[in-house]
Copies of this chain bind each other. A is one copy, B any other.
């Protein structure tokens, strides 16, 4: 299957685009992962986030082993057509493989030589080596 809407996406040299997931209720940005054409097609067809794992080089249905599924409410594309925004329901309330609500749990804090990334969010569930 190929369709105009999927050809509108500006895939990079590796055939990928970055895809953000945002909680559709809280507005919290949960994670950034990557999609190829098939991942985006499967996401649209299934209504659940499917990504391309760059490290494992395979399609990856988010939550397939962990149950931490992202149910897709809306799919958006940016002005340059090279980034995707999923508005999702995080079914288990955990999007990160570390067992946190979101992956963006490190905040830049301090000044000068004291500046560092500090983890601000608690672990609320079990962690997984890979975030399937």
Contacts and interface: CB of A to CB of B under 8 A. Distances in A.
Interface of A: 3-5, 8, 18, 20, 22, 26-29, 31-32, 44, 74-81, 83, 85, 96-98, 100, 103-108, 113, 115-117
| Copies of this protein chain in the complex | 2
12 contacts: A18-B83, A20-B32, A29-B85, A44-B115, A74-B108, A75-B108, A77-B104, A77-B108, A79-B96, A79-B103, A81-B117, A83-B103
Given A27-B27, A27-B28, A107-B74, A116 B4 contact: yes
A113 to B, nearest CB: 7
Given A5-B116, A115-B3, A108 B44 contact: yes
B44 A18 contact: no
B78 A103 contact: yes
Nearest to A3: B115
A79 B108 contact: no
Given A3-B115, A5-B117, A20-B29, A97 B76 contact: no
A76 B108 contact: yes
